[in-house]
Amino acid sequence: MYLTIKHLIMITMIISMMIMMMTISKKTTLNNQKSSPFECGFNPMADKRMPFSIHFFLIAVIFLIFDVEVIIIIPSLLTMKYAMIMNWMITSISFVTILMMGTIHEWKNGMLNWTK
């Protein structure tokens, strides 16, 4: 495949247009707020040892764990008609039993109480 003069002219025009657009589109002024890192609402220039509620962290982790478990449970309902019913029941009951044991453990340790 040979490049003709028309092809070379088109390629150079496209490259020059791309370079021109890149130089035109760049911002000349930098915004200090936009260029600083955003860390979950905390000011990154503030005190590094800012007090953080560990209870809030535990509630967030518990929420994520149970959220993933719900995502696992929903497709298992769809597989019920394709699986052997006894194996499906044993698997589902053992999974729900483990979930309930985890919930009871968290409840007894007081992780689900908002106020202490």
User: Does any domain span residue 81?
Assistant: yes
Which residue did the predictor score with more confidence, 57 or 97?
97
Mean pLDDT computed over 101-105: 87
Residues 6+ apart with CB under 8 A from 62: 106, 111, 112
- The per-residue pLDDT for 39 is 61
User: Does any domain span residue 36?
Assistant: no
Residues 6+ apart with CB under 8 A from 65: 102
User: Does any domain span residue 77?
Assistant: yes
Nearest to 96 by CA among 70, 67, 62, 75: 70
User: Does any domain span residue 20?
Assistant: no
Contact 44, 36 (CB under 8 A): yes
Q: Domain count of the chain?
A: 1
What proportions of the chain, in percent to the nearest 5, are helix, strand and coil?
Answer: 65, 0, 35
User: Does any domain span residue 31?
Assistant: no
User: Does any domain span residue 24?
Assistant: no
Residue 45: pLDDT band by 50, 70, 90 thresholds?
Answer: low
- The per-residue pLDDT for 94 is 92
Residues 6+ apart with CB under 8 A from 52: none
Beta pairing partners, 39: 42
Is a pLDDT exceeding 70 seen at residue 97?
Answer: yes
Residue 87: which domain range?
Answer: 46-108
Beta-carbon count within 10 A of 55 CB: 14
Which residue did the predictor score with more confidence, 2 or 107?
107
User: How far apart, in whole angstroms, are the C-alpha atoms of residue 53 and residue 56?
Assistant: 5
User: Does any domain span residue 101?
Assistant: yes
- The per-residue pLDDT for 28 is 53
- The per-residue pLDDT for 57 is 79
pLDDT tens, residue by residue, 20-42: 887 777 655 566 666 666 666 65
- The per-residue pLDDT for 74 is 83
pLDDT tens, residue by residue, 48-87: 666 777 777 777 888 888 888 888 888 888 888 888 889 8
